[in-house]
Amino acid sequence: MASEEELFASVDALLAAEPELPLPAERARLREAAGITQSRLATALKTTTQSVKNWENGRSEPRPPRLEAYQRLLNGWAAKHPAHGVPLVPAPMAVPAPADTPQAQAPETFAATASGIAAPPDARTVPPAEAPAASAPVAVEVAAERPARAVTSRRPAARKASAPPVDPRFPHGPLAVLDGDGSAYGVDGIVLDCPATTIVELVEWTLRESGLGAAKLNRYGKDSDPLIVLTTAAAVKLGLPERLEDRRGLRLEEGHPVLKQIGKAKWQLTQRGFGPWARIYRKAQGSQRQCVQLAILPWDALDARAWPGVTDMEPADVARVLGVYAQRVITPRGSTAVSGLELMTALRPPTRPVQDKETGNWVSGYNPGSLGTEAMDPAPPEGQPEHPAVFHSGWKGGFLHEEAYQWVRSVDLLTDEECTLPFAVGLDLNTAFLAAAARLTVGLSEPVHFHAPTFNPKAPGSWLVDLSHVDVDPRLPSPFTPDGTRPTGPAWYQTHTVAYAQELGFNVAPLEAYLREETGAYLDPWHDRLKTAYVDTLADLGVTKDLSDVEFLAAMERHKQVDPAMAAVLAAIKATVKGGIGKLFENPQGKNYREGDPWPAMQRPTWRPDIRAAVISKARVNMHRKLNNMAKMTGLFPLAVLSDCVVYPSPGESPLDFLPYAASGKPQLGGFRLGPTPGLAKLEGVQSMLWAVDLMEQGYNPARHIKGGDAVLDEGE
């Protein structure tokens, strides 16, 4: 006969067992008796309609934490709608929260009030951080303890006004992070059940059942393909290696079983192959795209410099970071540099439908203001010696050299008064390249060669002109060269550089020019979207436009600790700006490359070194204008400049100790001003003046190391 101890152990084992669900047919009966559709139930449980269908026909079972929530919901319905038709107990009523406190719902109540589904009061839900938008379908996220961690569901800490409307075609957002247990974590805390056990099954589930994707950013553009991010556990479960053997090419080796599965199922890979960012597709059916983007975390898909700490986050937090980035910038399609370039095209699509005058049919035509669909050869001075158009032409006329500042003042030009100041303070301009892209007119057509043209500051292009006669204070860098040295003769400059010489009061007489007659503000929508993303994300971290300068400095000091996930989004936005501009002039790569041969980057319409030069020229001119105005207003001269960072000698540890302010207390216009918007400044770092002078004497740039430790400035945000 069993002892009491043995009986209790058996009972405890039953209590600890997984919840037992009713038979599939009974699940369907209970739902129908409650008057709830499969779609409505799927919305409440934050899953797909197909998953509910599978549960009700016995093809699959829900997993925790959805399993416990589903069982409790069914128990509630069973109490109200027993099989013999007589309710045993009334269903509990959902108590609505007060209108001004959407998160006031008791955390121990599982009541999908918005979906009209009532359930027993002992189930748990994670309350949303804010009320959902009126147009958005409302879903309740169920949380339960899991063996390794507790599932958390948090909306991004965004202002309510920034929540994007939900596209009914993509009810579950732009992306999901798949873990090894089949849980696919999406935006706003949603968790989907993914039954896939192979890459092919994952692709088909994503396209048919997941409800993932994002609407196009321009009426003439294309919807964003769904992105699935694989954790290490998910990658291994799907048959992928935990680490790529090919560390140089970062590609899955030919003949790998996963590649065979993809080929056998008639899916294709892009020329990039199966790497950290793999695109798997079939030819589109009409207007319906068939493409899924994968990002594989253990293969370093998220570079730690652009996405600090994200790879080590829990899947739900990775989904939150990438989801906010996707909603504010673009669904990632590779590195932040690739995403920055893709964003330009998404906002300025190369084509639009036009009506053929002869046939009346609608055909694809050029979209005015875009870069078109064909790659464009650069003007000879705008390319580089390797470019086929330059190499085979025998060009010997020199090249455009518009780059960011890397300048250090000579220690011989330091005054005794400067050397006695105790501190060196670094200022960094927020996303200086983004600020330079605002209202920037660039060329859209082929370059045209002119001899001895009259300079036109509104004509984008490259000018051969002698600026060696322009005299500036030696304690400032020359505005015309990246290293700050004075030009020694004629050289090629972008329009903004030459225009600044005129602004300083000097005559310019170009010898030659390559100009583009069709122009436009191509980068305007790119600038506007990224500026909004940057400002909104800083605001989420407590750095808002209404802060005083003292409050701004304090908020910037702690903003990364406020919310590491949103701090990672901010870092990614800055990297998108820098990388997107850099991608406009991508050099040939690979040890087998031969000078004069074409390379992939130069064969795309967005390979535009002249546009990159225009952005950098304007950014450098903007920096010099501020340096010059600071010298006039305060008598202060910089110790060093590196891209968008400048170091000044200071009597105190704060920028407030040397920045110019009017008698009213407001910052003086024209110099450096503190603030959270692109082009304004923030504190980069503080060191002793002795430290700065010592670096200068050794030939190093203090601006590169002003943060201290091993920190290095990320040149050209």
What is the DSSP code string of 621-677? HHHHHHHHHHHHHH----SEEETTEEEEEESSSSGGGTS-B-TTSPBPTTS--B-SS
Token pair for 563:
């919310």
Looking at 334, 358, 392, the residue that finishes a domain is 334
Q: What is the pLDDT, as a whole number, of residue 88?
A: 42
Q: What is the pLDDT, as a whole number, of residue 17?
A: 54
How many Cβ atoms are within 10 Å of 441's Cβ, its own excluded? 17
Evaluate whether residue 317 is within a structural domain.
yes
Evaluate whether residue 56 is within a structural domain.
yes
For the chain, give the longest Cα–Cα distance: 110
For residues 216 and 315, state if they share a domain.
yes
Looking at 312, 334, 356, the residue that finishes a domain is 334
Q: Are 279 and 293 in contact (CB under 8 A)?
A: yes
Q: What is the pLDDT, as a whole number, of residue 187?
A: 93
At a CB cut-off of 8 Å and minimum separation 6, what does 34 contact? 77, 80, 81, 117
For residues 117 and 202, state if they share a domain.
no
Number of folded domains that form the chain? 2
For residues 172 and 68, state if they share a domain.
no
Q: Which amino acid is at 115?
A: S
For residues 177 and 299, state if they share a domain.
yes
For residues 105 and 218, state if they share a domain.
no
For residues 329 and 256, state if they share a domain.
yes
Evaluate whether residue 70 is within a structural domain.
yes
Q: What is the pLDDT, as a whole number, of residue 485?
A: 96
Q: What is the pLDDT, as a whole number, of residue 39?
A: 81
For residues 187 and 140, state if they share a domain.
no
Evaluate whether residue 137 is within a structural domain.
yes
CA atoms within 13 A on the CB side of 500: 24
Q: Report how far apart, in Å, the C-alpha atoms of 408 and of each of 273, 473, 474, 706 are.
A: 44, 14, 11, 13
Tell me the average confidence (pLDDT) per consecutive run of 10 residues in the chain, 717 residues long. Answer: 63 57 89 88 83 81 84 88 58 37 36 38 34 35 36 38 70 96 93 95 95 95 96 96 84 93 95 93 82 96 96 96 97 96 97 89 93 94 92 92 96 95 97 97 96 96 96 95 96 98 95 96 97 97 96 96 96 98 91 88 95 98 97 96 97 96 91 96 97 96 85 45
Domain that holds residue 208: 154-334
- Among the listed residues 326, 293, 289, 285, the one whose alpha carbon sits nearest the alpha carbon of residue 307: 326
Looking at 82, 111, 144, the residue that finishes a domain is 144
Q: What is d(CA 153, CA 189) in angstroms, rounded to the nearest whole number?
A: 4
For residues 28 and 174, state if they share a domain.
no
The partner residues of 288 in beta bridges, in order of sequence, read 285
Evaluate whether residue 282 is within a structural domain.
yes
Evaluate whether residue 235 is within a structural domain.
yes
Q: What is d(CA 379, CA 383) in angstroms, rounded to the nearest whole number?
A: 7
At a CB cut-off of 8 Å and minimum separation 6, what does 167 contact? 213, 214, 215
Evaluate whether residue 456 is within a structural domain.
no
Q: What is the pLDDT, as a whole number, of residue 53?
A: 83
For residues 128 and 159, state if they share a domain.
no
Q: Are 657 and 698 in contact (CB under 8 A)?
A: no
For residues 107 and 48, state if they share a domain.
yes
Q: What is the pLDDT, as a whole number, of residue 87?
A: 44
For residues 256 and 207, state if they share a domain.
yes
For residues 138 and 158, state if they share a domain.
no
Evaluate whether residue 288 is within a structural domain.
yes
Q: What is d(CA 500, CA 517) in angstroms, rounded to the nearest whole number?
A: 21
Q: What is the pLDDT, as a whole number, of residue 8?
A: 62
Question: What are the start-end ranges of the H helices in 34-175?
Answer: 38-44, 49-57, 66-80
User: Rounded to two decimals, what is the model's pTM?
Assistant: 0.80
- 3-state SS, 336-359, equals HHHHHHHHHHHHCCCEEEEECCCC
Q: What is d(CA 461, CA 614) in angstroms, rounded to the nearest whole number?
A: 8
Q: What is d(CA 91, CA 428) in angstroms, rounded to the nearest whole number?
A: 61
